[in-house]
C-alpha cells in the first residue's frame, strides 16, 4: 500500500477550482443515519423494479438463494432465468435480451462475473447496439469468508477497462436501492457491486439523491481529505471519527461511481490539500486510488495519493472484521496511518499515540 506521488505542482489555480465548487458540494451533503440495518434490501428494490417495468428479466447462475433473488423469482417466474453454473452463457443470454428490447439484470458473485466471464461481459454487453444491461455482483472485495476463489478484489479495475461500462460501488442499502434505479434508466451496460443479507443504512432515504457520475461530500473539515467508495467509505467514516477524537477534522468524499468518475468533486476537494487518502474494499491497484490519481495528474495538481485497501497480495480468509484487522483497514488503523503520514504520530494496538521526535 505504497503512496502514489503525483507531485507535478499547480494547486487550485492550475485546476481552475473555485470556492463555489466546494460550496456546491457542501450544500448537497446527504443526511446521514446511524445504527440502522435492513435485511435483504436488494431483493426489495429488485422486486419493486420488476413491478414497475415488465421488460425486466433477471438471470441467475445457480445462486438465487444467496443473492436475494427469491422474492423476484416467486412473483415473476416467467421473467426469471436460471442458467445453472454457467456464467459465460448467462452473459451471452443477457446480451441477446439487451439487443431485443429487454432489460436484463444478471446477478452472481463478483469473481464469477469478472474473472470467469470477462470476455462475455465485454463482448455481449458492451459491443454493438446493446441497450441497457445490468450486472449485479455480490461478495465484493473482502466481504466473503473464503479465500481468493471468492474475493472480488480486482473487479472494479477489470470493469473500468471495458468501453461504455458504467461502474458503481454503493456504500449502503439506501444507495444500493437508488443505484439500481439509476442503472435501470441508463442506456448502456452497468456493473454494480451488490450488498446482500443484513446491510447497513448510512444515508437517510427520505432525501437521498443518486446520480451516475456524482460524488457526495459526507464530512467537511480543514485538516485533510479521505476519499472512499463502497464499503471503503464506511471505513473512511470510522477513521474520520477516530481522527475527530484526536481533535482533527477531516473531509470525507464518497465516490460511488468509479466510471464515469466525478473529476470536478475530486479536484475541488484535492485542491485544498497536499495529500489524499483513498480507502476501498478492493485492490489498491486499478480501483479508486488509480482513478483518483488519474484525475489529479491529468490536471497537473501537486497532490500525493495514499491508497489504503487490499495490497498486492491475496487477502486472508475469515470474517470481514478479522480481514480488516489483518489488512490494517479498521478505523483505528486507517486513522493511525493518516496521522503518521501527516506527521508526528503512529498507530498502536487498540488506539493511537503521539510520537516524540528525537
Give the tens place of pLDDT for each residue, 29-67: 999 999 999 999 999 999 999 999 999 999 999 999 999
Residues of the chain with CATH 3.40.50.920: 4-30+210-344
pLDDT of residue 343: 73
pLDDT of residue 347: 35
Contact 161, 138 (CB under 8 A): no
pLDDT of residue 131: 86
Check pLDDT > 70 for residue 4: no
Task: Write out the CATH class of domain 4-30+210-344.
Answer: alpha beta
Give the tens place of pLDDT for each residue, 243-288: 999 999 999 999 999 999 999 999 999 999 999 999 999 999 999 9
pLDDT of residue 18: 61
Give the tens place of pLDDT for each residue, 112-128: 999 999 999 999 999 98
Above pLDDT 70, what percent of the chain? 91
Check pLDDT > 80 for residue 313: yes
3-state class (DSSP) for residue 217 = strand
Helix axis angle for 288-298 and 263-270, nearest 10°, is 70
Give the tens place of pLDDT for each residue, 210-235: 999 999 999 999 999 999 999 999 99
pLDDT of residue 16: 58
Beta-strand relationship, 166-168 and 133-138: unpaired
CA distance 337 to 346: 6
CATH superfamily, region 35-203 = Thiamin diphosphate (ThDP)-binding fold, Pyr/PP domains (3.40.50.970)
The stretch 347-352 carries a mean pLDDT of 38
CA terminus-to-terminus distance, the chain: 27
pLDDT of residue 147: 86
Q: Nearest-CA neighbor of 189 among 130, 129, 136?
A: 130
Check pLDDT > 70 for residue 8: no
Q: Nearest-CA neighbor of 154 among 188, 125, 113?
A: 113
Confidence of residue 358 (pLDDT cuts 50, 70, 90): very low
pLDDT of residue 264: 95
Q: Nearest-CA neighbor of 196 among 48, 43, 36, 34?
A: 43
pLDDT of residue 277: 98
The stretch 340-351 carries a mean pLDDT of 54
Contact 155, 113 (CB under 8 A): yes
Task: Please give the full DSSP string across 294-325, using - where no structure is assigned.
Answer: HHHHHTT--EEEEEEEE-SSPPPPS-HHHHHH
Residues of the chain with CATH 3.40.50.970: 35-203
Contact 194, 136 (CB under 8 A): yes
Check pLDDT > 70 for residue 338: yes
CA distance 211 to 186: 10
Amino acid at each position: 500500500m505504497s503512496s502514489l506521488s503525483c507531485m507535478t505542482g499547480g494547486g487550485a489555480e492550475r485546476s481552475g477550482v473555485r470556492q463555489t465548487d466546494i460550496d456546491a458540494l457542501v450544500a448537497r451533503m446527504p443526511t446521514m443515519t446511524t445504527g440502522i440495518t435492513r435485511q435483504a434490501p436488494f431483493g426489495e428494490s429488485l422486486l419493486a423494479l420488476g413491478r414497475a417495468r415488465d421488460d425486466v428479466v433477471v438471470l441467475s447462475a445457480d445462486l438465487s438463494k444467496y443473492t436475494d433473488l427469491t422474492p423476484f423469482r416467486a412473483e415473476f417466474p416467467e421473467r426469471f432465468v436460471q442458467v445453472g453454473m454457467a456464467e459465460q452463457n448467462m452473459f451471452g443470454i443477457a446480451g441477446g435480451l439487451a439487443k431485443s428490447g429487454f432489460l436484463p439484470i444478471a446477478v452472481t458473485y463478483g469473481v464469477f462475473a469478472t474473472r470467469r466471464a470477462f470476455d462475455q461481459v465485454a463482448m455481449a454487453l458492451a459491443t454493438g447496439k446493446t441497450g441497457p444491461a445490468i450486472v449485479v455482483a455480490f461478495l465484493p472485495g473482502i466481504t466473503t469468508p473464503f479465500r481468493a476463489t471468492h474475493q472480488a478484489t480486482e473487479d472494479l479495475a477489470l470493469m473500468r477497462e471495458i468501453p461504455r461500462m458504467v461502474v458503481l460501488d454503493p456504500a449502503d442499502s439506501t444507495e444500493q436501492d437508488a443505484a439500481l434505479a439509476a442503472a435501470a434508466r441508463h442506456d448502456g451496460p452497468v456493473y454494480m457491486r451488490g450488498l446482500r443479507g443484513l446491510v447497513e443504512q448510512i444515508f437517510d432515504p427520505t432525501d437521498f439523491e443518486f446520480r451516475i457520475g456524482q460524488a457526495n461530500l459526507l464530512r467537511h473539515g480543514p485538516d485533510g481529505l479521505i476519499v472512499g467508495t463502497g464499503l471503503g467509505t464506511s471505513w473512511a467514516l470510522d477513521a474520520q471519527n477516530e481522527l475527530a477524537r484526536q481533535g482533527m477534522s477531516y473531509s470525507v468524499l464518497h465516490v460511488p461511481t468509479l466510471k464515469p468518475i466525478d473529476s470536478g468533486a475530486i479536484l475541488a476537494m484535492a485542491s485544498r490539500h497536499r495529500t489524499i487518502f483513498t480507502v476501498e474494499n478492493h485492490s489498491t491497484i486499478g480501483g479508486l486510488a488509480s482513478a483518483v490519481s488519474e484525475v489529479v495528474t491529468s490536471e497537473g495538481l501537486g497532490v500525493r495519493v495514499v491508497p489504503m485497501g487490499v495490497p498486492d497480495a491475496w487477502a486472508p480468509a475469515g470474517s470481514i472484521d478479522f480481514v480488516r484487522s489483518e489488512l490494517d483497514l479498521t478505523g483505528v488503523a486507517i486513522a493511525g496511518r493518516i496521522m503518521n503520514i501527516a506527521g508526528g504520530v503512529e498507530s498502536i494496538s487498540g488506539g493511537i499515540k503521539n510520537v516524540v521526535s528525537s
